Amino acid sequence: MNGSIRVGVVGAGFFGAMIARACDEHGAFSVTAVADAVPEAAERLATALGARVHGGAEALAAADDVDLVVVATPNHLHADPAIAGLRAGKHVFVEKPLGIDADSIDAILAAAEDAPGRLVVGHVMRAFPGVRRMVAQARGGALGTLIEAAGARRRLVHVPADPGDWWKLDRSRSGGELLHEIHELDLVVWALGEPASVVGVVGVSGAPLAHGAHIVDSVTETVLRTADGALGRHSISTSAHRAEWWFRISGTDASVEADFRAGTVTRFVDGAVVDVTGVFDDDASNDSLREAAQAAQAYNTGGPGPLWMRTAVTCELDEIAAAVQGSSTVLTEHPATAARTALRANAVAAEGRQ
């Protein structure tokens, strides 16, 4: 494709606005259309970017001046705009997770199977330069035979006292914490591949808030095993007073570990540190990542996000552009493996609670 990739954004909330503005600042994209169920939100974003407002996802997907449909709706509403874009012959970017139930995931994949456009899923942490290098080492044999991949994101999250009817706190719309905060689980299955078995255990769940909203699962542990015997482990918590945030791949010859709170990627051989690099390729973004990781974690704070987050979105957009042009698979391979693994883990956990 020559020239800029023309983008239609479905969903003008926090993430939709952030990625639309990032597209507008990125040399490979131009935002031409915006659609949202709230007309005022669509109008504000479209006006800011010099784009047109469409009344719905199907009309936006059918527009002649849209090459890439960006789906940034709440999680439970990903399927219809994604399918509309794929059926219209467009490339489609869907913010993670791909879906929160098997039917919607299967429907998107079925639409993508024969579509001329590519399906890209917003597993943004795959695009972090240090993480890409970790997985490349694992796949290239630099770690030996893979034994394990593991990841954790554990912290205390402060929820607004009166969040209103916010979809993120409603499991029926978000899919619960394991699906909504799927990043590290995705890295585990991206490194290892499709799991043969999955076990999930969930701790405290469903504490009621005002307006009928619910806190998402506060502690979730997932263990998986591949057909060739490699082990995957994942932990996520919204109530841990001691924070940790990391991803590790281990093989018979070496291990590599990203410590996102430190902004570093470290290679270990026989227990010794042999190399330390950054999660990002510039010091300022790594410093921003460290600073943000030390701050109190809170939902629904708004704003443009810290430098590291803006850098992450730029890295993601670089991969989206490459995927649209057919030269990258970082965000196109295993589009549904993480979401399906999370659903399997949640199902096993639900059986255990009965």
pLDDT digits (tens, 9 = 90+) for 26-77: 999 999 999 999 999 999 999 999 999 998 999 999 999 999 999 999 999 9
pLDDT for 209 beyond 70:
no
**CA dist., res. 273 & res. 269, Å (int):** 7
Q: What percent of the chain has pLDDT over 70?
A: 91
Domains, in order of start, for the chain? 5-122 (3.40.50.720), 125-353 (3.30.360.10)
For residue 3, the model assigns a pLDDT of 55
For residue 130, the model assigns a pLDDT of 98
For residue 302, the model assigns a pLDDT of 61
pTM (2 d.p.): 0.94
pLDDT for 91 beyond 90:
yes
What pLDDT, in 10s, does the model give residues 227-240?
999 999 999 998 88
For residue 203, the model assigns a pLDDT of 83
pLDDT for 207 beyond 60:
no
